Amino acid sequence: MASLKEIRTRKASVASTRQITSAMKMVAAAKLRKAQDAITQLRPYAELLQDILVSLGGSLRDDNHNPYLRDDEHPEKILLVLITSNRGLCGAFNSNAIKTTIHRALTTYPNQMLEHDLYFAAIGRKGSDFLRKKGYNLVYSNEEIFDDLTFENAMAIAEKLMAQFVKWDYDRIDIIYNQFKNAGTQIMQEEQFLPIKVPDPEESGGSSLASVDYIFEPSKEYIVEELIPRSLKLQFYKALLDSNASEHGARMTAMHKATDNATELIKELNLEYNKARQASITNEILEITSGAEALKG
C-alpha cells in the first residue's frame, strides 16, 4: 500500500488536472456555441444552392466548356485535402480524420500511390504534422485558417485548389473532414470537391425546385458559370465550419469525460488514503499496547 504522503501528492495532482480539464470544458463549450451557430446558419443556404444546381442539372450535363466539369472515370493525379485541428485533447477527432484519409488513399487510389501521383493537402497542424512525419507527399498545409475562420479566408484556399484543378495539376480533389451533428457526435465525410458531380434530380429525392419551369435572366449558361464557382467556395467553407464545430464539440466531450474520471479517481484516492490512515493508526495502537505489555512484564 502506498504511503500517506504519496497518496496526498497524487490526490493533489489529480485535483489540479481536474481543475484544468473543467476549465477547458467550459472554454470549449463557449466556442462550440459560436461555431454551431455558424454552421447551422450556413446549411439552409448551402442546401438551397444545391437545389438550384439540381434544377440546372440538364444544363450542367450539356456544358462541355466549363473547366470544373470533367470526365473523371480514370483520374491520374489525385489530391486529398485532410482537415484536422491545430490542437489536441479532443478525443478521436484528429485520429479518425487521419485514419480515414490514409484508408481512402490505400483503398480508393492504390495505383496513384504506387505511381507517386497521390498528393496531400492539410488544413490544421495535427494533419500536416502526421503527413510530414510519415513521409507522405504533402504539397500544401495551412495552420492559420482556424485562427480567423471567415468566408474570405476560406475562399482564398478554395480558389487556390480550383486554379490548380483548372491548370490540370490534379484530375480529382477530395476533401476528408468531420461533419458536425451534435456535441457528442461527429460524422466522417469523404467528398469529391472537383470535378463537380452533376446532380441528378431523381437521385436528389425529388427536389421541389427541380420540377419548376424557370425563366432565367440573363441566361442559363451565364448563371451556371457564376453558380459553380460560388458553390465550390461555399462547399469548402461549409467543410471548414463543420470541422471547426466538430472539434469544439469533441473537445468539450473529451474534457467532460476527463473531469468525471478525475472526480472518480479522487474518490478512490480518498478511500485509499482513509484505509492507509486507519492502518497506520491501528499499527500505532498495537505498538503502544505491545510496549505497555512489555513494561508490565
Q: Give the residue numbers marked as catalytic.
A: 90
Q: Please, are residues 39 and 242 in contact by the beta-carbon 8 Å criterion?
A: yes
Query: Which residue type sits at 75?
Result: P
Residue 58, number of CB atoms within 10 A of its CB:
12
Give the whole-angstrom CA distance, residue 207 versus residue 225: 22
Give the whole-angstrom CA distance, residue 130 versus residue 134: 6
Strand order from edge to edge, sheet including 118-123: 138-142, 118-123, 78-83, 172-182, 185-194
Residues in a beta bridge with 293: none
Helices (H), 56-117: 57-62, 93-108, 110-114
CA angle 256, 125, 115 (to 5 degrees): 125
Give the whole-angstrom CA distance, residue 106 versus residue 166: 26
Query: Which residue type sits at 49?
Result: L
Give the whole-angstrom CA distance, residue 95 versus residue 88: 10
The position carrying cell 480558389 is 159
Give the whole-angstrom CA distance, residue 231 versus residue 215: 21
3-class SS letters over 119-170: EEEEECHHHHHHHHHCCCCEEEEECCHHHCCCHHHHHHHHHHHHHHHHCCCC
